[in-house]
């Protein structure tokens, strides 16, 4: 693991998610750019001292030298955005597979380079767009693919948060500080932090590519340097349209990502606050609530849950599904069966970066921009 | 009443709503442009034959001749949009107050004329934007005015319906036929039928005017002549922004108008499917559910409900509130106290028409347009 | 109308419900046992002075003398329980149909007498168990009858209220005063006020009679004279069992009557807070939400609603359904078609009183008692 | 681990829950009474062969002989009820702490013996009543203790499941087979499998002991040998009363354990389907929704969750909380601070067995029985 030192929330989540299914073991880490802090985290995690490194450079150097059955198989990068690319490139070049937290890179150029590296090396990247790890999101994708709602016509996706309603980056809140800093986050604020989740889940469920967008990025809180509120009109490759809302100044909101997909013959609705349900609506029929863990679900939902219906799984389990599916992929490579290959790969990471970059352009120039 | 003959849904609702509180009595009507059908409805309603008219012209003519204590006080126009203006003008000119179903007129020019007529004559128009009749919508307005959520920053309003998901106007569905016909409805389809409700409730609750919009009107169903799906970006006079969604091809959806208003210090959320609740969210506090009929509500909510908490009131009661408040206004005129004066008047009707016209322009030209 | 004078909540509701569909007109009343208060209410309601009476005796006397087309057709009794029987008997004996608020009488003996009177005279009584007036409750009944959930096995019905959590009868709250007074309410408190609704809806939906009960009636608030909390175990004629909960000390609760019926092959669930929905659950299938106003509903639900799906109707409309159906019955008598005959009649009123009396006995003696 | 071999659901859950927080490592197991199956599971789990045992006897024998820093610290027993006691006694006698799935034992006598053993040896037992591991259940307990709802007066707890609606024990469903077999489960069916959860959560949240009960245990499905449906009236030590419902023939239901506690001044409501929320209702105030992960929660809720508000945790995390808290206890023993000592211990396990035994007696004899 690179990053995830003292006080890191997302580092701890990555470790928990990786550990959950007993298929991945944390064997080493460079948890901080300060040697002392890295060592402290390593000790807390019970790692042997010799595998806690003072920098990722040192880590790659030493791990590469270990016997294949001892050295790490997989690197997780959980640092701020501007610190994704350099270790990622190095990792791939040295033959390691990668997990990177979203958005994949600082800017689009870096994303393009990673895409090329993956193509060249055969190493793969899993980008942790958590929400497509939920079983009922996978069920939604499978139902759209099966034609249960007919051709997709309209999509609404929203991701309201309230945690940046005040200018807490000026009050010492660490995560807010880097998320709102263009030098660490890149050109996008809310659009890059959460808009990209909404974009990913939209393409994932519909199986359709977004081909052009019209974005309005707002800086609502005075003095903020990056957008904290975004609305994006979407046009899909099949002519369907959509509306994407991502706001971090939706005062009082937590994290309820919600998506509704309307087809010619029906609609699907999912929201994270009720993550184990998927609603199916068809004209002149009672609405249906499909539930995680049920016997009637498709293969993807079943393979990505651990409990019977009524024993709710949550966000950590969704996260863990990406790790588990990626671990399966690494183990089995091309032999991996389709349902298990289900994780957000470098292409999904690249499209997220493309979306961010185009949204910034569209908003700046007040016009539709192609993806 | 003008219109509301055999098979009219909205005519029947207007009569029920007017009757509910026992303050308004149906005394006469021109229910159809066919004399026989008008007579049939009149008979079903138990009206004396001499006050059932074959046309509104006849109605105004005869009613004006009756003694003041006998003749009607108020005219309800429940015809399709293109048949609002002519009887409305006549009614006002002859000294009658008016209830008109939304949108107020066929086009903006007619709306301007009605506005001038009202200013000149002192007769008033109540435009039945039903949803602002709900007690908890009134409570929301009062809470915003009281500063409970601080300055408004962001607004999301959505009105998804699915009834036009298929081209039922070609299958003999009467209401669909006129709603999708530009000769009867005017320049707007979904934007005029339901978008206008979403617009009205937004200005009503926030107490803020929309000053410019960017609209995307879509004709999703092949062969349809008017928009059946609309997204509108809103800019309010105080700089706040909003997103308005109105769709009639949201397959499987009923009629769940929903609005969320985010201020600097809190947020309010209301949806018609749970009309007796209003959610208040503030950072670092548990969300609150305010309930119709409760002792702790403000005056407007209290005056516009009839039952204690837990005895739900619905759409007809919201409709009836407009009638009741308008009846109070007519009785008391200028003496009416503020809370009772709460009904959508000619100005609200005018702004709805302005919104429709500007949305059509914006969508056609792909640019922001001022209101 | 008898009762419903100044300050009466339920009197006002009865008038609104009766008026809603335009089939019933208030023509006279004895609104209070004080002549002045009766006159005041009559004037507020716009009744001619000569038909506002100082007592129900006077009312029956004078109305009986009017020509048939002028005199009242139907009497509504909305007084406290101990004042139901005397005017009810007189009304029936003089040939009037009756609406009585629940519970039908003060005690079981009175209920038996009314039952006999109805049998003898052919006059009928509608007892306003409001909740069985809801369209989706009627749909539930129809679905059980159609076998959609198989044979009923288990039933849970609960009616939690919180308004008597404190001893407000000692603080001048008028309704609390008579509801908790055995001289005005009879032998039951919560069991008679709301338990009887829960009992009625249970027998109504299942179409099954309760044959024996085990009741625990509690006086939770110190100093209270009647039960304010009740749990009753039910046994139905087909061997199914049930649990009925009725509490008025469920602090913070409003009025959310809720019922769940489990059959061999499925389950139905309805609650008043979401009155326009009915949930159908079957093993190994997604749960379904059936909605009022939908095309797929049965005849009873359709005949008892006024609006399309998504335009919620509420408690007043449920109340009005009883009035409308009873009015239809009176007009058509035996010719009335089955679906229209759907209102709670004297037999339902009698069974409610039987339930109350048996519950009091069971609780007092700590044993199962037959009904 | 003892039990949890091929096909065991609960064994897999225990392992996942134990692993989640990285504090407990699976080091050995006797996963089945068939050596081959035990070995197979051990291999799947990546255990060294020498620590996969053919029986628990062998396991205790060998592990006891290992050096303290190598041998297991803690034993999890996840076998059917009749196989809890023998290994449990042995484990404690040999100095191991224990996790046992609920109900703790086959009968009350065994429970008494374990209680004595714990008292004598200082070894402790954690009984995995999963639901009291949820953070918002812990918050509820803390709020009751803090007096937020005043003295508890009334409690409703329900646990409806539908999985035994048909006689699937006769169709080869393995879990159903032992759960409905008195030789493996003991004297209780639904009351022992899920009623005991409802009982545990009731005493846990209120901090009050149940002192007497009146139980009705039903065998609803023909041919079943144990109760599949139970209703129990509860009386608490402070005079409060309650109703406990546990049914496994609630056709179509999943697993929505739900509890409502009414005090003199407010009420708390929690249900597993919305496990991250806790509702607080007070008279004349808007209801409040307290949410897991929020800043305003008490210490117990905070210490037992891993994610910020809006990132839902589920059933596995609740389960893991018991393991984590028990691991903390074992590490720190008496030094453990109070909030961390929060897990269901042998006394909670004993009370569950007492409840089952008394419920069977009460139901058989049709009378109230003391606990």
B266-276 pLDDT per residue, tens: 999 999 999 99
Strands (DSSP E) along chain B, which ranges?
74-77, 97-100, 125-127, 152-160, 210-218, 229-236, 241-247, 258-263, 267-271, 277-281, 287-291, 369-370
Check pLDDT > 90 for residue D194. Answer: yes
User: Three-class SS of residue A214?
Assistant: strand
> Could D294 and B288 be called an inter-chain contact, meaning their C-beta atoms sit closer than 8 Å?
no
Cβ–Cβ contact B310 with C under 8 A: yes
pTM of the model: 0.97
**Mean pLDDT score of chain A, rounded to an integer?**
95
Residue B337: the pLDDT is 62
Exposed e or buried b for every residue in D321-330, given b needs 16+ CB within 10 A? bbbbbbbbbb
CB contact at 8 A, B263 and B240:
no
Complex ipTM: 0.96
Please report the sign of the dihedral spanned by the C-alpha atoms of residue D282, residue D288, residue D294, residue D300: positive
Report which of D131, B352, B8 is spatially closest to residue A312, judged by C-alpha positions.
D131
Cβ–Cβ contact C70 with A under 8 A: no
pLDDT tens, residue by residue, A230-269: 999 999 999 999 999 999 999 999 999 999 999 999 999 9
CB contact at 8 A, B132 and B196:
no
CB contact at 8 A, A221 and A249:
yes
Check pLDDT > 90 for residue D204. Answer: yes
Q: How confident is the model at residue B333 (pLDDT cuts 50, 70, 90)?
A: confident
Pick the residue from chain C with its C-alpha nearest to A294.
C284
Check pLDDT > 70 for residue A337. Answer: no
Residue B335: the pLDDT is 66
Residue D334: the pLDDT is 62
**Mean pLDDT score of chain B, rounded to an integer?**
95
CB contact at 8 A, B249 and A274:
no
Residue D314: the pLDDT is 97
Cβ–Cβ contact D296 with A under 8 A: no
C-alpha to C-alpha distance for B197 and B211, rounded to whole angstroms: 17
Q: In the B/D pair of chains, how many CB contacts fall below 8 A?
A: 32
Query: For residue A124, how many other CB atoms are within 10 A of its CB?
Result: 18
Q: Of C149, C154, C252, which has the smallest distance from its Cβ to D229's Cβ?
A: C154
> Could D286 and B285 be called an inter-chain contact, meaning their C-beta atoms sit closer than 8 Å?
no
> Could B252 and A216 be called an inter-chain contact, meaning their C-beta atoms sit closer than 8 Å?
no
Token output for C293: 């106003």
C-alpha to C-alpha distance for A331 and A27, rounded to whole angstroms: 17
Among B143, B149, B150, B154, pick the best mutation site for testing chain A contact (most A Cβ within 10 A).
B154
Report which of D29, D23, A291 is spatially closest to residue D12, judged by C-alpha positions.
D29
Report which of D292, D338, D351, D336 is spatially closest to residue D134, judged by C-alpha positions.
D292
C-alpha to C-alpha distance for C179 and C301, rounded to whole angstroms: 33
CB contact at 8 A, B305 and C308:
no
Token output for B74: 């108020």
Report the percentage of chain C scoring pLDDT > 70. Answer: 98
Q: How confident is the model at residue D332 (pLDDT cuts 50, 70, 90)?
A: confident
Residue A14: the pLDDT is 95
Check pLDDT > 90 for residue A206. Answer: yes
The rounded radius of gyration (Å) of the Cα atoms in chain D is 20
Q: Of D45, D255, D314, which has the smallest distance from its Cβ to A317's Cβ?
A: D314
C-alpha to C-alpha distance for C279 and C140, rounded to whole angstroms: 9
Report which of B117, B26, B41 is spatially closest to residue B76, judged by C-alpha positions.
B26
C-alpha to C-alpha distance for B286 and D282, rounded to whole angstroms: 13
pLDDT tens, residue by residue, B220-246: 999 999 999 999 999 999 999 999 999
Q: Does domain A133-307+345-370 have CATH number 3.90.79.10?
A: no
Residue D338: the pLDDT is 60
Q: What is the mean pLDDT of residues D21-48?
A: 93
Exposed e or buried b for every residue in C159-196, given b needs 16+ CB within 10 A? bbbbbbbbebbeeebebbebbbbeeebbbbbbbbbbbb
For chain C, the first-to-last Cα distance in angstroms comes to 33
pLDDT tens, residue by residue, B276-300: 999 999 999 999 999 999 999 999 9
Task: Give the architecture (CATH level 2) of C135-308+347-370.
Answer: 2-Layer Sandwich (3.30)
Show which subunits contact C, needing at least 3 CB pairs below 8 angstroms: A, B, D
Query: What are the CA-CA distances from residue A253 to residues A138, A164, C58 (Å)?
Result: 25, 10, 62
CB contact at 8 A, B184 and B82:
yes
What is the enclosing helix (H) or strand (E) of A230?
strand A229-236
Q: Rounded to 5 degrees, what are φ and ψ at C247?
A: -135, 140
CB contact at 8 A, A157 and A258:
yes
Cβ–Cβ contact C277 with A under 8 A: no
What residue ranges of chain C are covered by domains with CATH 3.30.360.10? 135-308+347-370
> Could C220 and D153 be called an inter-chain contact, meaning their C-beta atoms sit closer than 8 Å?
yes
C-alpha to C-alpha distance for B304 and B324, rounded to whole angstroms: 9
Q: How confident is the model at residue A182 (pLDDT cuts 50, 70, 90)?
A: very high
Least confident interval from A201-215, B59-73, D294-308: B59-73
**Mean pLDDT score of chain D, rounded to an integer?**
95
What residue ranges of chain D are covered by domains with CATH 3.30.360.10? 133-309+345-370
Report the percentage of chain B scoring pLDDT > 90. Answer: 93
Check pLDDT > 90 for residue C333. Answer: no
Report which of C179, C187, C41, C54 is spatially closest to residue C109, judged by C-alpha positions.
C187
Q: How confident is the model at residue C30 (pLDDT cuts 50, 70, 90)?
A: very high
Task: Give the architecture (CATH level 2) of D133-309+345-370.
Answer: 2-Layer Sandwich (3.30)
- Find the angle CA(C51)-CA(C55)-CA(C60) to the nearest 5 degrees: 65
pLDDT tens, residue by residue, D147-184: 999 999 999 999 999 999 999 999 999 999 999 999 99
Q: Of B233, B247, B260, which has the smallest distance from its Cβ to A154's Cβ?
A: B247
Residue B148: the pLDDT is 97
Q: Of D286, D288, D295, which has the smallest distance from its Cβ to B296's Cβ?
A: D286
Cβ–Cβ contact B166 with A under 8 A: yes
pLDDT tens, residue by residue, B13-58: 999 999 999 999 999 999 998 999 999 999 999 999 999 999 999 9
Token output for B73: 């006080």
CB contact at 8 A, B221 and B249:
yes
Q: Of D287, D290, D294, which has the smallest distance from its Cβ to B289's Cβ?
A: D287
Q: In the A/B pair of chains, how many CB contacts fall below 8 A?
A: 111
Residue A270: the pLDDT is 98
What residue ranges of chain A are covered by domains with CATH 3.30.360.10? 133-307+345-370
- Find the angle CA(B119)-CA(B120)-CA(B126) to the nearest 5 degrees: 45
Check pLDDT > 90 for residue C337. Answer: no
Q: Which of these CATH numbers, 3.40.50.720, 3.30.70.380, 3.40.50.170, 2.20.28.270, describes A9-130?
A: 3.40.50.720
Residues 200-259 of A with CB under 8 A from D: 253-256
What residue ranges of chain D are covered by domains with CATH 3.40.50.720? 9-130
Pick the residue from chain A with its C-alpha nearest to D294.
A254
Report which of A28, A4, A9, A21 is spatially closest to residue A323, judged by C-alpha positions.
A21
Show which subunits contact B, needing at least 3 CB pairs below 8 angstroms: A, C, D
> Could A313 and D314 be called an inter-chain contact, meaning their C-beta atoms sit closer than 8 Å?
yes
Fold of the CATH domain B133-308+345-370: Dihydrodipicolinate Reductase; domain 2 (3.30.360)
| Residues of chain A neighbouring D8 (CB-CB closer than 8 A) | none
Report the percentage of chain C scoring pLDDT > 90. Answer: 93
Q: What is the mean pLDDT of residues A137-151?
A: 98
C-alpha to C-alpha distance for D107 and D127, rounded to whole angstroms: 15
> Could B286 and D280 be called an inter-chain contact, meaning their C-beta atoms sit closer than 8 Å?
yes
Report the percentage of chain B scoring pLDDT > 70. Answer: 98
pLDDT tens, residue by residue, C152-182: 999 999 999 999 999 999 999 999 999 999 9
pLDDT tens, residue by residue, C279-323: 999 999 999 999 999 999 999 999 999 999 999 999 999 999 999
Report which of C272, A193, D103, D133 is spatially closest to residue B309, judged by C-alpha positions.
C272
Check pLDDT > 60 for residue B339. Answer: no
> Could C311 and B311 be called an inter-chain contact, meaning their C-beta atoms sit closer than 8 Å?
no
Q: Rounded to 5 degrees, what are φ and ψ at D339?
A: -60, -35
Report which of B117, B107, B319 is spatially closest to residue B98, judged by C-alpha positions.
B117
Check pLDDT > 60 for residue A339. Answer: no
Among A148, A154, A260, pick the best mutation site for testing chain B contact (most B Cβ within 10 A).
A154
Report which of A176, A175, A177 is spatially closest to residue A78, judged by C-alpha positions.
A175
Residue B8: the pLDDT is 86
Q: How confident is the model at residue A333 (pLDDT cuts 50, 70, 90)?
A: confident
Q: Of C20, C308, C309, which has the smallest distance from its Cβ to B20's Cβ?
A: C20
> Could C287 and A289 be called an inter-chain contact, meaning their C-beta atoms sit closer than 8 Å?
yes
Residue with tokens 């009503």: B204
Instruction: Give residues with Cβ within 8 angstroms of C31, minimum separation 6.
Output: C1, C2, C3, C4, C5, C6, C8, C11, C37, C38, C41, C42, C52
Residue D336: the pLDDT is 62
């Amino acid at each position: 693991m690179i990053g995830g030192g003292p006080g890191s929330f997302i580092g701890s989540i990555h470790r928990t998610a990786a550990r959950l299914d007993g298929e991945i073991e944390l064997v080493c880490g460079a948890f901080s750019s300060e040697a002392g802090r890295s060592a402290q985290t390593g000790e807390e995690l019970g790692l042997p001292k010799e595998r806690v490194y003072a920098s990722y450079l040192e880590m790659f150097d030493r791990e590469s030298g270990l016997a294949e059955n001892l050295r790490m198989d997989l690197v997780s990068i959980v640092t701020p955005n501007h610190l994704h690319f350099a270790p990622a490139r190095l990792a791939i070049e040295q033959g390691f597979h990668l997990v990177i937290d979203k958005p994949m890179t600082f800017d689009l150029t870096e994303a393009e380079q990673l895409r090329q590296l993956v193509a060249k090396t055969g190493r793969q990247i899993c980008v942790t767009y958590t929400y497509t790890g939920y079983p009922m999101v996978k069920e939604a994708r499978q139902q759209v693919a099966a034609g249960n709602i007919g051709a997709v016509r309209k999509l609404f996706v929203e991701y309201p948060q309230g945690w940046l309603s005040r200018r807490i980056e000026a009050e010492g809140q660490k995560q807010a500080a880097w998320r709102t800093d263009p030098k660490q986050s890149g050109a996008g604020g809310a659009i890059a932090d959460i808009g990209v989740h909404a974009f990913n889940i939209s393409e994932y469920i519909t199986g359709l590519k977004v081909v052009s967008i019209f974005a309005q990025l707002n800086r609502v809180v005075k003095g903020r340097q990056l957008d904290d509120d975004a609305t994006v009109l979407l046009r899909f490759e099949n002519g369907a349209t959509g509306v994407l809302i991502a706001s971090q100044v939706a005062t009082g909101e937590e994290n309820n990502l919600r998506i509704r997909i309307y087809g010619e013959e029906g609609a699907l609705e999912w929201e994270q606050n009720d993550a184990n349900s998927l609603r199916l609506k068809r004209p002149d029929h009672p609405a249906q609530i499909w539930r995680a863990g049920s016997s009637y679900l498709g293969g993807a939902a079943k393979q990505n849950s651990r409990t019977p219906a009524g024993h709710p799984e949550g966000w950590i389990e969704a996260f863990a599904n990406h790790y588990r599916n990626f671990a399966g992929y690494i183990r089995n490579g091309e032999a991996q069966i389709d349902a298990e290959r289900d994780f957000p790969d470098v292409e999904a990471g690249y499209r997220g970066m493309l979306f961010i970059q185009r949204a910034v352009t569209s908003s700046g120039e007040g016009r539709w921009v192609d993806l």
